[in-house]
Amino acid sequence: MPLVRDFASALLLFHGAVAERFGLHETDLTALRFIGEAPVTAGALAEATGLTNAAVTALIDRLQAAGFVRRERDASDRRRVYIRPVPSAVREVDKQYARLKDDMATLLGKFGASQFEAVLSYLEGATQILERHTESVGNEK
């Protein structure tokens, strides 16, 4: 399905352009989107991204050096370190996605209720298929 391939490519290229705009790797940007507004541990970040602990440490180092996150020790357990987003820096990234979100909302506004439900159903199903295939690729070692 060339249209799905083109959509996926356009989405990846947009994500890459945003990462490049801020001097980040695409994986860094994905992790930053995962961190969002709430603090996470490096372990949770490793689990969410599928990266090794060493790779997550390097990723956090890059995000911290670029001013997007900071490390903060847990007051009750000094061994635990939380990765906290720097809101002002994250807002700059969010602006890039906000424009996309606005344009996508305008596009979706052109659909009737039943058409909108069909689009949502397709996207939910496609997401589940992608997740399943992503997992199966990792299991084919």
- C-alpha 132/C-alpha 117 separation (Å) is 23
Q: What is the pTM of this model?
A: 0.76
pLDDT digits (tens, 9 = 90+) for 71-112: 998 888 878 889 999 999 989 899 999 999 999 999 988 999
Asked if residue 138 belongs to a domain, the reply is no
What's the structural domain count of the chain?
Answer: 1
- C-alpha 11/C-alpha 29 separation (Å) is 14
Asked if residue 135 belongs to a domain, the reply is no
Asked if residue 131 belongs to a domain, the reply is no
pLDDT at position 78? 79
Expressed as residue numbers, the domain containing 49 is 2-110
pLDDT digits (tens, 9 = 90+) for 33-47: 888 777 899 889 998
Asked if residue 19 belongs to a domain, the reply is yes
**Strands 81-85 and 40-41, bridge-based pairing:** antiparallel
Question: What does the mean pLDDT of the chain come to?
Answer: 88
Computed on alpha carbons and rounded to an integer, the radius of gyration of the chain in Å comes to: 18
For residues 96 and 81, the answer to whether their CB atoms sit within 8 Å is no
Q: What is the CATH number of the domain that holds 38?
A: 1.10.10.10
